[in-house]
Structure 1
Amino acid sequence: MSSTVLITGATAGFGQATARRFAKAGWRVVGTGRRAERLDELKAELGESFHPLAFDITDEAAMDAALESLSGPFAEIDLLVNNAGLALGTAPAQDCSLADWQTMIATNVSALAAITHKLLPRLIERKGAIVNLSSIAANWPYPGGNVYGATKAFVQQFSRNLRTDLHGTGVRVTSLEPGLCESEFTLVRTGGNTEAYKSAYAGANALQPEDLAETIFWIASCPPHMNVNQIEVMPVSQSWNGQRIHREG
């Protein structure tokens, strides 16, 4: 019997690669996203194993309607991959847009919590699993990270607290925390600045969405008695920087 995974943010990057990886392995895949045309393209590629749900994840009423529309095997969620999220802006906190901060909180925190809460009964019934996409920004602050890093720290701690509350249910929870990975992330963060995108990844041999998809698939494929609590991954080219010192005079 095949299992069902629901992946948020399946229209690009990690989510799209993860949909392909699980479909290849024979899973049923429910993919969500705002861009219906991209979900339709993925449906054309993956066939009957893929079920698209087009809605804005920050719209709770649309989320409810989409989840209630699921039927048959596609309603039997064995794995939730909370991938939908974004970063906006690279400026220091004092120069940031408050609207950008609020959008990041609405998407990375509130929407993630909402869809998790709505799917917990199904996941508990099926002794399923949750993989939450956090970031190395949850662990290592950097200039311009401000609210983005804080939202990912929420995801990390939420994952740990879910594990505590779900004790004894058989549901597994993982916080996956990637470093530099080449995707639309930088284009979104910089408002579509292609030069910034090229600069971010030039010569870095960054992680690829397929690397993250393979990691998520490995987590999901672990034995039911094994929980991967937290996993941080970086490209070999990336490591920690020294602490900065501001000197007067």
Structure 2
Amino acid sequence: MSKIALITGATSGIGEACAHIFAQNGYNLILVARRADRLAKIAHHLEAKYAITTQQVLADIREKENLNKAFEAIPAEWKKVDVLINNAGLSQGLDPIDKGNTDDWDTMIDTNVKGLLYVTKIVSNWMIPNKSGHIVNIGSIAGQEVYPNGNVYCATKHAVDALSKAMRIDLLQHDIKVTAINPGMVETEFSVVRFKGDAERAKNVYAGLEPLIADDIADAIWYVVSRPKHVNINDMLIMPTAQATATLVNRAG
């Protein structure tokens, strides 16, 4: 059987871009997402375009019991996962700590930290008997720096950075690779989600500069996964040329 990659948040942005580049390189895919119509559409498109096979897993990674059931239902031959891409994540709101929406906080913590943990526990236990595998966690520049009003989102991505380092240590004895990919500004649905559908405000985030796009990050992920067996890229920080730090950008463009 061809190699298998499991991708969370597979129906948009970086997750969808990863699905394309891995399918293009002959991987069969387990696609995990919450939106049934988009999941089916993308799966069928990938199968037709790249002559690969897919498993569709309709699940919200925040919902532990439902997630466990959905993953248990995956056929045994599909559980020989070579690559896990923990892509599902989001930011909601951009408020100072004293004005933060606690529902937004719960959503970010439950998705970016707890959901990542739930998925990783299941899939790492599939990898361990094979003494191989590669886990790629999508972090952020927000996991390297804290910026005004980023408080809880930054905290969740700092947690992803710490968990990536911890996974590398804990899974070392099992020959499982772990990589953290930390993007700067990437124009995807990210800002639209952060601003709860306010497309104009989201567009202004990237005004006057050329941000990264999802394909840039997928290309970097493919690079780290395609290194020889003895090479592990522990982490990678990827910024658009117009961005120097989390907050310092050149909008002269």
- TM-score per shorter chain, which class? over 0.9
Identity in percent: 38
Residue aligning to 1:70: 74
Judged with a 3 Å threshold, the aligned counterparts in structure 2 of structure 1 residues 71 and 223 are, in CA distance, closer, same or farther, namely same
Write out the 4+ residue segments of structure 1 that deviate beyond 3 Å after TM superposition.
none
Q: 1:52 aligns with which of 56, 65, 75?
A: 56
Distance in 1 (CA, whole Å) between partners of 2:115 and 2:173 is 26
Task: Report the AA paired with residue 173 of structure 1.
Answer: V
Asked if 1:178 corresponds to 2:183, the answer is: yes
For the residue of structure 1 that corresponds to 2:205, the secondary structure is helix
Judged with a 3 Å threshold, the aligned counterparts in structure 2 of structure 1 residues 90 and 241 are, in CA distance, closer, same or farther, namely closer
Unpaired runs of 5+ in structure 2?
A: 249-253
Residue aligning to 1:237: 242
Q: 1:141 aligns with which of 136, 146, 155?
A: 146
What are the equivalent positions in structure 2 for 1:1-249 lying under 5 Å apart?
2-47=2-47, 48-126=52-130, 127-240=132-245
For the residue of structure 1 that corresponds to 2:6, the secondary structure is strand
Cα deviation per residue 1:117-176 (whole Å; 9 max; x = unaligned)? 111121222300100011000111111110100000101111101111112211000111
Distance in 2 (CA, whole Å) between partners of 1:232 and 1:63 is 30
For the residue of structure 2 that corresponds to 1:201, the secondary structure is coil
- 8 Å contact from structure 1 (residues 174, 230) kept in 2: yes
- 8 Å contact from structure 1 (residues 86, 104) kept in 2: yes
Distance in 1 (CA, whole Å) between partners of 2:86 and 2:209 is 27
Q: CA deviation at 1:242?
A: 8.6
Unpaired runs of 5+ in structure 1?
A: 244-249
Tell me the matched-pair count: 243
Task: Report the AA paired with residue 141 of structure 2.
Answer: I
Distance in 1 (CA, whole Å) between partners of 2:37 and 2:246 is 41
Distance in 1 (CA, whole Å) between partners of 2:113 and 2:89 is 9
Give the CA RMSD over aligned residues. Answer: 1.5
- 8 Å contact from structure 2 (residues 31, 43) kept in 1: no
Distance in 1 (CA, whole Å) between partners of 2:114 and 2:246 is 31
